[in-house]
């Protein structure tokens, strides 16, 4: 598998893990990115969301894997920011100390997701191996929020959904490739 394709698959898997729900898409004309979506999204847990992500207007305009990866990273940052804002709002409400502690842990996890996705969206253009490593680093704390929620017996479906796919993700940092390779 081409190095940039493996990064793209890694990005899609991470993106899927941040989404709150998947929706179906309807497109009148298939772009190159949409044609690639079934292949890229084949191993995704939420195939519909994966295809929807690759069918976003910004993705349809991408001319190469680098641009497409950047679009996916920006979407990932947006999804992480949405989850982070939800956690921040939940933490403002009165709750027991154990649940507040769990929310703080989840807040840190999603802040890291946002920071890493945001950074990788620009790194991919000037340092693809570092972008791959930046995303791989997300796995360092992938279970921290889930474990904190379980320990505090925190029932927060919106956070649990955002974390759902992370436990089964298995991706290696094998992306070292050429910049701006074409589809």
CATH classification at residue 70: 1.20.140.40
Angle between helices 32-41 and 47-54 (to 10 degrees): 160
How does pLDDT run across 63-85, given as a tens digit for each residue? 888 888 898 889 888 888 988 99
More confident residue, 40 or 93: 93
Rounded to two decimals, the pTM is 0.71
Closest to 77 measured CA to CA, from 53, 104, 105, 41: 53
d(CA 180, CA 67): 7
What six digits make up the tokens of 125? 């253009």
Q: Which helix (H) or strand (E) holds 35?
A: helix 32-41
Do 113 and 76 meet the contact criterion of CB atoms below 8 Å apart? yes
pLDDT at 30 over 60: yes
Is 177 contained in some domain? no
Is 120 contained in some domain? yes
d(CA 142, CA 22): 21
In the prediction, which pLDDT does 180 show?
A: 45
Closest to 109 measured CA to CA, from 161, 145, 151: 145
Domain of residue 122 covers 3-16+28-168
* Residues listed for the chain: 183
* Overall number of domains in the chain: 1
pLDDT at 105 over 90: yes
More confident residue, 75 or 180: 75
Interior angle at CA 65, CA 63 and CA 66, nearest 5: 90
How does pLDDT run across 125-165, given as a tens digit for each residue? 999 999 988 888 877 777 888 888 889 888 887 777 776 64
Is 77 contained in some domain? yes
> Predicted confidence band at 94 (pLDDT cuts at 50, 70, 90)?
very high
> Predicted confidence band at 22 (pLDDT cuts at 50, 70, 90)?
very low
30-51 average pLDDT score:
72
d(CA 124, CA 25): 27
Is 107 contained in some domain? yes
99-116 average pLDDT score:
92
């Amino acid at each position: 598998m081409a190095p940039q394709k493996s990064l793209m698959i890694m990005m899609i898997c991470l993106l899927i893990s941040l989404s709150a729900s998947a929706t179906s898409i309807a497109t009148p004309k298939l772009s190159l990115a949409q044609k690639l979506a079934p292949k890229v999204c084949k191993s995704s847990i939420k195939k519909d969301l994966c295809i929807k992500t690759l069918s976003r207007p910004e993705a349809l305009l991408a001319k190469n894997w680098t641009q497409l990866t950047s679009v996916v990273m920006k979407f990932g940052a947006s999804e992480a920011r949405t989850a982070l804002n939800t956690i921040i709002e939940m933490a403002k409400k009165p709750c027991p100390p154990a649940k507040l502690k769990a929310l703080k842990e989840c807040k840190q996890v999603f802040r890291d997701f946002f920071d890493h996705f945001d950074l990788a969206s620009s790194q991919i253009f000037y340092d693809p191996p570092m972008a791959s490593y930046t995303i791989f680093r997300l796995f360092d704390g992938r279970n921290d929020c889930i474990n904190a929620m379980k320990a505090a017996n925190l029932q927060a479906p919106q956070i649990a959904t955002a974390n759902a796919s992370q436990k089964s993700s298995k991706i290696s940092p094998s992306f070292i490739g050429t910049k701006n390779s074409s589809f």
